[in-house]
C-alpha cells in the first residue's frame, strides 16, 4: 500500500507561546508537518462569531457604520458580534442580544421571528485566524423602533435589494451571509 502523505496528520511538537485576552488567543507552536518537516506556526483563535440579517417592513436594516481600526475607516456591516454564551451552539438568545444592542432597541420582545440561516457553524479561517460563524435572519415587529440605523440608503429585503447591498458592503463575512440568504430566497421561489 503506498504511503499517502496527504493523509498524514500534523503533530504539535512544542507550545512556544500562548497569549490570551477576552477577544482572542495568540498561539505559537512548533509543528511537524505531513512531510516530517518542522515548522513554527502562529495563529489567532477567536470566540465564535454571530451575524444577523435584520429586516423590518420588507427592508434590510443595518446599524450605522462603525470605525474599524484594521482598515482605518468606517464600514457598513450587518449586526454582529462574538458569542456571548460560551459553549452554546446556535444561541438565538445571543443573536437577540446583539441586535438589541447594535440597533439600540429597548422593546422586550421586538422580533416577529429569529432563526438560524446556517445549519452548522461555518469555518472562517485562514492560515492565521480561525473562527466559527453562525448567521441568523431576524424580522423586527412593525411597531419596534431601532434607534441606531444606517438611514442613508434603503435596501429591499429581496434578491434585488441584496444585490444592491452587496455593491456597498465590503465585509467578506457579511457578503457570505448575504449571498447565502439570497440563495435561500431564490430556492424558496
Q: What tens digit of pLDDT does each residue of 96-155 get?
A: 999 999 999 998 889 999 999 998 888 887 767 778 889 999 999 999 999 999 988 889
The cell numbers describing 145, all together, are 423602533
Region of 98 (left: φ > 0; alpha: ψ -120 to 50; beta: rest) is alpha
Per-residue confidence at 4, pLDDT binned at 50, 70, 90? low
SS3 (DSSP) at 38: strand
Q: What is the pLDDT of residue 141?
A: 96
Which is nearest to 74 in space by CA: 6, 186, 169, 141? 169
Q: Are the C-beta atoms of residues 181 and 117 closer than 8 Å to each other?
A: yes
Domain boundaries, the chain: 5-45, 49-150
DSSP 92-115: HHHHHHHHHHHTT---SS-EEEEE
Q: What tens digit of pLDDT does each residue of 149-175 get?
A: 998 888 999 989 999 999 999 999 999
Mean pLDDT within 176-187? 90
Mean pLDDT within 34-48? 88
pLDDT beyond 50 at 1 = no
CATH for the 49-150 domain, from 3.30.70.920, 3.90.226.30, 3.90.79.10, 3.40.50.300: 3.90.79.10
Amino acid at each position: 500500500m503506498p504511503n499517502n502523505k496527504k493523509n498524514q496528520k500534523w503533530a504539535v511538537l512544542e507550545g512556544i507561546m500562548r497569549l490570551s485576552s477576552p477577544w482572542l488567543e495568540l498561539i505559537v507552536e512548533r509543528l511537524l508537518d505531513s512531510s516530517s518537516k518542522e515548522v513554527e506556526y502562529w495563529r489567532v483563535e477567536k470566540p465564535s462569531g454571530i451575524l444577523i440579517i435584520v429586516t423590518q417592513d420588507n427592508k434590510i436594516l443595518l446599524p450605522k457604520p462603525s470605525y474599524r481600526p484594521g482598515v482605518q475607516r468606517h464600514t457598513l456591516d450587518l449586526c454582529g458580534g462574538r458569542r456571548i454564551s460560551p459553549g452554546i451552539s446556535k444561541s438565538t438568545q445571543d443573536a437577540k442580544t446583539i441586535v438589541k444592542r447594535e440597533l439600540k432597541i429597548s422593546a422586550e420582545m421586538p422580533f416577529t421571528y429569529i432563526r438560524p440561516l446556517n445549519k452548522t457553524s461555518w469555518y472562517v479561517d485562514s492560515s492565521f485566524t480561525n473562527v466559527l460563524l453562525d448567521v441568523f435572519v431576524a424580522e423586527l415587529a412593525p411597531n419596534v423602533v431601532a434607534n441606531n440605523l444606517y438611514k442613508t440608503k434603503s435596501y429591499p429585503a429581496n434578491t434585488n435589494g441584496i444585490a444592491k447591498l452587496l455593491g456597498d458592503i465590503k465585509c467578506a463575512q457579511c457578503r457570505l451571509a448575504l449571498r447565502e440568504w439570497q440563495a435561500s430566497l431564490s430556492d424558496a421561489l
